[in-house]
Each structure stands twice: as C-alpha cells, then as structure tokens.
Structure 1
Amino acid sequence: MGEAGEIHLQIEGTRSEEADNHNGTSPATAAPASPSMSERLRWWAVVIVNIVFVLGGQSVATLLGRIYYDQGGNSLWMATLVQSCGTPLAVPLLLYLRRKSKPSARTRPPVLKMAAIYAGLGVLLAGDNLMYSYALLYLPLSTYSLICATQLSFNAVFSYFINKEKFTALIFNSVVLLTFSAALVGVSHGSDSTNSTVPVGKFPLGFVLTLSASAVFSLILSLNQLTFDKVLKSDTFYDVMEMQFWSNTAAAAVSVAGLFISGEWSTLGGEMAAYKAGKVAYGMTLAWTAVSWQLTTMGMMGLVAAVSSLFTNVISTVGMPLSPVVAVIFLGDSMDGVKVLAMLIGLWGFFSYIYQHYLDDAKVKKIRAEGLSVSSADDDEKQSVKVSTE
C-alpha cells in the first residue's frame, strides 16, 4: 500500500519533464516511458487494497452506526466522534513511513500553512460527520444509503471547478441519474416502514442533512486533492497518511469539544447502562465503528492521492446500493419497488461513469500505440486520462 504514491509520483515526474521540454528549451520528440508491467500490477494491487478498505469499512461502519441508535444510543456527538477518533491506530504506520521515507529535494510547505490547512479540513470534517450522525438517526439505513449516492454528483461538480477534471456527457449522465435516484427516495418516503427506532416526522430534515453532508464530503475530497496537487506537490503514501492523521485529529478535537460543550458527556454513563445489548456490546459497537471509519478514511485518502477525488467518490458510491440489502437482512428495513428502482438507476449512473474511464483508457492506449507524446494532448484530455496513464 505504501508504494502507490511513489509509483504515481514517478509517472507524474516523467510527464512533468516532457511538459517542461515541450514548453521550454528542447521539444519532446519521443513518447514518455511507459510504466513497466510490474509497476502497473503493483499500482493496481495498491488501488484494490484501498478499494477494499473503503467498501468494507464504510459498509460495516454505517451498519454499526444504525445499530448504535437502535440499541438505545442517543449521543449525536459520540456518534460523530467515533468517525474520526481512530487516528491513533495509524501512528505506528506513520512512524514507520517517516523512518523509511527518502529525503526529498523539494521544499516542504511552511508548518503554519499546513497546520491551518489541516485545521480547516478538520473543522469541515467534524461538521460533516455531525450532519451524517443526525441523518443516520433520522432515516432508515436503506433510505440513508440511497440518498448518500448523490455525493458522486456533487463531487463531479467540485472536481470540475476545483480540480479541473473533464466533465463529459457520460459523467453528466451519471450525475443526472444519481440525482434522480435520490429524488425517487425523497418522494417515496411515505412507504417506509422499519423496525428501527427512527424518530417520526424527521424524514424531511434527515433528507436535507444527508444531501448537505454528501455535498460537504465531496468538497472535502476535492480540497484534499487540491492540497496534494498545489500545496504539497507530492502524493507519497507518507503525505497521504500525514494528511489523514492531522485532519482527523483536528476533527476529533472538535467532536470532543462538542461532546463537552453540549453536556452529552454527562449522559454517557446512563446511556451505557441502558444499552439494550449490554455495556460490553456498547463499548464494542463504538470501538469497531471507530476502527471501520479509520480503515475507510485511509482507503479514501489513498485513492485520492493515487487516482483522483472523483474516482474515490465513485468507489464510495459503489457500496451504497449494497447497504439497503444489508439493512433489509439485518435491520428489518423495507425494500419496496421504488427503492429497487432507485438502486438500479444509481447503478446505471455508476456504470456510466466507469464507461467514461474505459473510453479514456482506450484513448491513452491509442496515443501510446501511435508513439505520440501524452503531453501533446490538450490539458483537458490529459486530466481525463489521469487514472489510465498510471
């Protein structure tokens, strides 16, 4: 997993040199050196591991979050805190990577500048986690998961304006379909019946909070990618882990402050005693939720650095159609025809995006087969084939 950023950086370095020659003293006449088969396989292995972290961690964490509420948990700030307090688990790996990392000639950004960026991302993340906590309390898990699929639509827009990623017809189709999928869930909530302890009459607020949280989450991913590209100018795995650690530490600090300021800390003892499954189950639920979110965050940050924020959100969205099925099996949520239709439309939107990347990959292969320099393509094309060239 630690090699993803290094491989990506090597390839980006090759492209940067070509761009310098193309714009500078000597024209680029030869095609850039393609990564070896072993490098490509290693890069894909790293990406697959991160994908497993995202899909597995996200599914388990979301399910445990709903179980926490159903079994008698009611502290919104505690539910928010467990989404970012797993950062100590990353300390051994961070120390190992720091010891193994090779000295770099590049100048590191000023400490105060990076501290401000991490603090800002942490505050955004804490607010986003709080909105997700409210949304999960107010909605059945199946409905919540389907609405969360709109985060891909938001991320496509943010990636276009912030990260300058190409916005093609297929991606636009994906955005429309995922938005329509969420709208179907929104207008059909009257048919929801569930065995979970969802507050009556809170659906509209839960719907709005889920949409808002999805938008902020997408913004955070795009800002992470912008930080890697424009501030750190590096995406080694150490940089990925460092950003993940400090931004989540800041989010955890905000959540702890919220827990004490709100007074919810004084109710935790009674909440644990009244937990239906018992005190041990209460502690285990929170602990495994924190671990699951930590794995999810590590996977997401790895994908943002190795590929892009939009690709990361696509992978995150893949797990959304699976969550309603899990909710039906384990939580007794209803699965009516409208939800099934919304799930199928969401999958259609997802595969539209994947097909766009297939076309991008074919374009890059054609360019290389003709012996052309990737740097001779325009900026939009280069951005759209970022995943494939790696």
Structure 2
Amino acid sequence: MENSIQVHDQDHKSKTSKRYLPLLVVNYLLLFVGSVSSSLLSKFYFNHKGSSRWLSTWVQSAGFPLLLFTIYLPYLLKCTERRPFTCFTPKILILSIFIGLMLGLNNLLFSWGNSYLPVSTSSLILSSQLVFNLIFSFIIVKQKITFSNLNSVLLLTLSSVLLALDSRHDRSNGLTHAKYFIGFFCTIGAGLLFALYLPVMEMIYKKVYCYQMVMEMQLVMEVAATALASTGMALDGGFSEMKTESQRVFDKGPTAYWVTVFFNVLTWQLCFLGTAGMVFLTSSLTGGICMTALLATNVLGGVLVYGDEFGGVKAVSTVLCCWGFCSYVYGLYVKTKEEKREEEKTNQRMEMVHRVNDSV
C-alpha cells in the first residue's frame, strides 16, 4: 500500500513537472536575470562610496510586496479557485518566519563579503555553496551521493581554495589583508547558510501542493528577513542617514543613488523568486547547480563591467567551476538513462505478470 502511494506521488510529481515546464523556464530566466543584475548592482553601490551593509542587506528582501501579484493575480483572473493563504497552517507560518530570519542573516553575510571582494571573486567563492548543498541534501532530503556529485564538489572546492591562495593579487586599493579574508569567510558563510536553506525548503515544499502556496511562504520569509534588516538599519542609523548618503557620500548623485536602490530591490526579488520556483519544481540540489552555472556569467560580468582582474589563477578557477558543473550535468544524464532502463524493465515484468494471470 505504501509503495503504491509513493509511486502515485512520483507519477503526480512527474506530470506536474511536465505541466509546469513553461513555469520552470520562466523561473530559470528570473534567476538568471536576478542573479547577474543584483550582483553587479550591489557592487556598483559599494564602488561609488556607498557604505551601509545593512542597506545592502535590506534591499535583498524589501521587494516582497511584488510577490502579492504572483499570489493574488491568478485568483483574481480566475485561473485558480484556491483562495490565497488557504491551508496556510500555524506550523508553516512559524517555519517560514524562522527560515526567513536565517535568510536575513545570509543576506547580511553576503553584503559584508560583497563590500570587500570583487564581483568575480565573490561569485567564484559562492560556488562552494554546492559543497554544503550536497552534504545538507544528503542529510535532510536523502540525496544520493554519486561519483559525479563528489567530482563536482572536489572541483568547486579546489576552485575556491585557489582564489584564497591568490588573494594578494586581487585586492582593491585600501583593502587590507585582514579585510579581504573577512570578506572571503563572510561569503563562505553566506554560501553555507544558503546551502542549508535550499534542502530545508525542499523538505517543506514536499507538503506544498501548488506554486501559489510557495509564493505565500516566500512572502512570509522575506517579511521576516526584511524585519531583521530593518531592525539593524534602525539601530545603525541607516534610515536617517540614507538621505545624507545619497546627497553627500554617493559620488554619482542622489538620482543615481535612489535608482540603484530601487533596481537592487527589484533584481534581488527576481533572484529569490526564481530560486524558490526552481526548488519547488525540481530539487534543492538542481537549484544549487543552476545557480552555480550562473557564477561564470557573474564572473564575466564583473570583468566586463568593472574591469576586475582576470589572471591565470582566476581563469583556472573558472574552468574548474565549469568542469564541476558539466560533471554534475553528465551524472544527471547517466542517471536519467538508467532510470528509463529500469522503468522499461519494470513495465516488461508487469506485462509478463498480466499475461500469466490472463492465461491462468
């Protein structure tokens, strides 16, 4: 009985994934645009004398009102009969708030790291999140570890280690050795927390039956993350000093300052919206892999837009990052072929059983 229920759930998930394929493509596009744009805009803020790490943290989740469109629009257009926040239990609410606070801490660590490190270096270091993602996925959602997984982990870890060893060649003017490593380890910490966030969300999403409910949970999480960042800003005098910073500190002027803040809010929201959709429609490990695949694009963006140094070590790190991703993709391809073979054998056995039963 239990096996038949599991098979039914797997079949339902498969059919749902096929039906949601256009939505999956849209979410990956949102993740692509949001990841690249938010990374570059965050660095733009710090490059032009912006100094509030709490503000950089706040903009990562402050766009949560935009999620109301994804939650209420399908209901208002009568695409679904489900009312928003139906079946949103107190347990899910508490879990969403807790994970939202964890996400807020992750955002703060990312802001600290990004304020010190070049975009390209920060992006390559974040590739280490895949190491933690695989470990947490194995512990939390019982992700099977294969040779391609381990190979990918080793290559991406080596990529980050090379960057740390080559740190003396990749510092901006005025950045001390100590501050560089603070940025390095803050970015590693951000990767660790985000890698934990992904499988935890996959575990919770197993009890969620529609994309609309995923967006509702995402809204609550980002409200909690924004509350944490707003508290930090208030204690640090961030809100009262934003006007002063825009007029006297930011060297591109007040208009460019507020445009930068606005588009930071927008692009970060696209990034988290795409991430949540990817995890729900696929898995936490696949979502992590897709984000890692975008890191090479972030590296190129940092080099093209800001003129980040791209020496031999960083080139080798990029190659290792791409190699690790390709290794994982190949592993998925082999796994899919094996699953199809097993499914065909199972179907053949079932047909033989039916024939024997019919003959009897």
In the other structure, the counterpart of 1:200 is: 176
Structure 1 portions without partners, runs of 5+: 1-15, 23-27, 376-390
Q: Structure 1 115/35 Cα, relative in aligned 2: closer, same or farther at 3 Å? A: closer
Distance 1:35 1:309, change over 3 A: closer
Partner of 2:270: 295
Structure 1 residues 46-104: Cα deviation after superposition (integer angstroms, max 9, x where no partner):
22221111111100000000000011211111100000011111112211245544459
Structure 2 equivalent of residue 140 of structure 1: 118
How far, CA to CA, are the matches of 1:289 and 1:124 in structure 2?
20
Conservation of the 8 A alpha-carbon contact between 1:139 and 1:198: no
Q: Pick one of 324, 331, 335 that aligns with 1:356.
A: 331
- Normalised by the length of structure 2, the TM-score is 0.88
Q: Secondary structure at the match of 1:333?
A: coil
Counterpart CA distance in 1 for 2:12 and 2:21 is 18
Q: Which has the higher helix share?
A: 2
1:228 aligns with 2:202: no
How many angstroms apart in 2 are the aligned matches of 1:183 and 1:46?
Answer: 36
Query: Contact between 1:18 and 1:32, CA under 8 Å: does it hold in 2?
Result: no
Equivalent in the alignment of 2:355: none
Query: 1:338 maps to which residue?
Result: 313
Shift of 1:366: 1.4
Letter in 2 for 1:370: K
Closer, same or farther: CA 333–372 of 1 in aligned 2, 3 Å: same
SS of residue matched to 2:20: helix
Q: Tell me by how many angstroms 1:35 deviates.
A: 6.3
Distance 2:224 2:348 in 1: 43
Do 2:60 and 2:269's aligned partners in 1 also have CA atoms closer than 8 Å?
yes
Structure-1 residue corresponding to 2:107: 129
- Seen in structure 2, the aligned counterparts of structure 1 residues 198 and 115 have a Cα distance that, compared at 3 Å, is farther
Report the alpha carbon displacement of residue 219 of structure 1 after superposing the two structures with TM. 0.5
Q: 1:87 to 1:336 in 2, by over 3 A?
A: same
Which residue, 280, 284, 293 being the options, matches 1:318? 293
Q: 1:188 aligns with which of 134, 143, 166?
A: 166
63-72 or 268-277, larger mean C-alpha shift: 268-277
Stretch of structure 1 that moved more, 93-102 or 146-155: 93-102
| TM-score under structure 1 length normalisation | 0.82
Checking the alignment, whether the CA contact within 8 Å between 2:75 and 2:82 is kept in structure 1 is no
Looking at structure 1, the residues matched to 17 and 288 of structure 2 have their Cα atoms a distance apart, in angstroms, of: 22
Mapped to 2, the partners of 1:35 and 1:320 lie a distance apart of 29
Considering only aligned residues, what root-mean-square deviation do their CA atoms show, in Å? 2.6
> Could you give the per-residue CA deviations for residues 112-163 of structure 1, whole angstroms, max 9, x where no partner exists?
x222111101110111000000000111111111100111111000000001
SS in 2 for 1:319: helix
Match of 1:48 among 22, 25, 39: 25
